[in-house]
Amino acid sequence: MTRSYDTIVIGGGLLGCATAWMIARDGGQVLLVERDQINQHASGSNAGSLHFQLEYRMIERGIEAARTAAEAMPLHLDAARLWSDLPGLCGQEIEVKQTGGLMIAEDAHQIDLLEKKTEIERSWGLDNQMIDRAEIDRLAPYLSDRVVAAAYCPTEGKADARTAGPALARAALQAGAEIETRTEVTGLSRQAGRWHVAVTSAAGATTVSAESVVIAAGVWTTRIGQMMGAHLPTIPLALMMTVTQRVPKLIPHLVQHAGGRLSLKQALDGNILIGGGWPARLIRAEDGEPNFGAKPELLASSLSGNADMAIRVLPELSRIPAIRSWVGTTTVTPDQLPLVGPVPGQPGAFVATGGSAFTLGPSFAQVLAALIAGRQPDTALTAFDPARYGRQ
C-alpha cells in the first residue's frame, strides 16, 4: 500500500530540515527524503555567515542592482530574528552568534557605494550604519589601516554550518516528522489531487503520496522542477573556503568587503574562516551538464586571491597557518532574488531556493510552513514568486 503524508519535503539541507520541523510543529504529518545524508551538501559546507546587509555580489553591479536585491530585505529581517530565537524555539543546541558585521571600504568609491547601500537598507528597516576610522579603531582594531570606513550591522553574525542542519533534523524528528536518508526522489506526478513521489533507496523503488510537496533541493531545484514539468531556473556556483588553525579570540565580527569577494569570521573554537564567494570549477559530464554529485575543483587563482585580500585587511592572518581549503556548490537565481512560493501550475507544490539560503533558510522555511498550512505568510512574496520566470 502507498504510504501517505500531508507533506513530503525533498532535500535534507538546512532548508529542508527547518521546513520539516516547522510543518511537524504545526501538526502536519511530514516525510523528509534526502538522497544522501542530512547536511551533506551546501548546508554543511558553507561559511556560516549570517549576512543581513546586501552582499558584495548584490552591489558589485552598482546601486540600481542593489536596490533590486534589497527587495529581499523583509526576508533578511525575519532571518535576523529567527536565527537568534532558533535554539530556544527548536530546543536544540545551535551555535549562533550575532555579534555584529562590518562591510568595509578601502577607498572613496567603496565608501560612496556603502553609504548608498546603507541608506537603501535602512529604508527597509535594517539596523545598519556607516562608521568612520575612529569608530573602527574602537570596534575593530584588528583591521588594517587601509580600512577607512565600514557599514556596521549589529545583528549580523555566524552560525555553525556543520551542526545547524542536523540540529533542525533532530527537532523535526522530535516534533513527529519522518526522515529517510539515502532515498532519492526519481519522479513526481499528480493524480486525483495528490502528489505521488517515486523514491529509490537500498530497499528498492516505491511510491509515497502527499497532499503537498516542498522542493528544498538547493542546486538540484531546477532538476526536481523538471520532474513535474515546472520551470524553476537556477544558476549553480562552485565556491571555495579556507580555514586557519585555532588562534586566541581575534575577530568578534563577520567582516565583508564592499570592493571584492571576502568574508572573515572566527568560529567559537578559534579557527578563522576565510571565504566570500571565490569560485571553484564545476565538474561537467560529457554532455556538458554540471555534475553536482562530483566535488568541484579548487582553483589556485581563487586560493591566492582570497588569501591576498584577507591578509590585506587582516595583516595578522599572514602569521596564522591555513589548515584546510574546501569546495562546495550553491545556487543563485537569474535575477539574484530568492525563489520562494508556490510552483507555478502545480497545485500543492512549493519551492524555496536562492543565494545565501543558509542565512535565509529559516525565513524560507517559515514562509513554506505558512503556505502549506494555508496561512498567509507575514512577508509579501510577489518579488520572489517562482511564476516570474514563466511556465515551461
Ligand X SMILES: Cc1cc2nc3c(=O)[nH]c(=O)nc-3n(C[C@H](O)[C@H](O)[C@H](O)COP(=O)(O)OP(=O)(O)OC[C@H]3O[C@@H](n4cnc5c(N)ncnc54)[C@H](O)[C@@H]3O)c2cc1C
Residues that bind ligand X (CB under 6 A): 10-16, 33-36, 40-43, 45-49, 184-185, 216-220, 224, 239, 241, 275, 328-330, 353, 356-359, 361
The position carrying cell 588562534 is 247
Residue whose CB is less far from ligand X, 275 or 386: 275
DSSP assigned state of 146: T
User: Least distance from C-beta 280 to ligand X, angstroms?
Assistant: 8
Is 47 or 177 the residue whose CB approaches ligand X more closely? 47
Nearest residue (CB) to ligand X, 306 versus 353 = 353
CB of 238 to ligand X, least distance (A): 7
Phi, psi of 348 (to 5 degrees): 80, 5
Task: Output the residue with the shortest Cβ distance to ligand X.
Answer: 13
Pick 34 or 106: Cβ nearer ligand X = 34
**CB of residue 309 to ligand X, shortest distance in Å:** 16
Residue 346: count other Cβ atoms within 10 Å of its Cβ: 20
Closest separation in Å from C-beta 279 to ligand X: 10
**Residues pairing with 206 in the sheet:** 199
The C-alpha atoms of residue 140 and residue 102 are separated, in whole angstroms, by 9
Q: How far is the CB of 317 from ligand X (least distance, A)?
A: 18
Question: In this structure, are strands 178-180 and 30-33 parallel, antiparallel, or unpaired?
Answer: parallel
CB of 251 to ligand X, least distance (A): 15
Q: Give the residue ranges of DSSP H helices in the chain.
A: 14-25, 42-45, 56-59, 63-69, 73-90, 108-123, 133-139, 161-174, 221-227, 300-313, 361-372
Cβ proximity to ligand X, 111 vs 179, nearer residue: 179
**What distance in Å separates the CA atoms of residue 330 and residue 374, rounded to the nearest whole number?**
30
Cβ proximity to ligand X, 116 vs 223, nearer residue: 223
Distance CA 139, CA 141 (A): 6
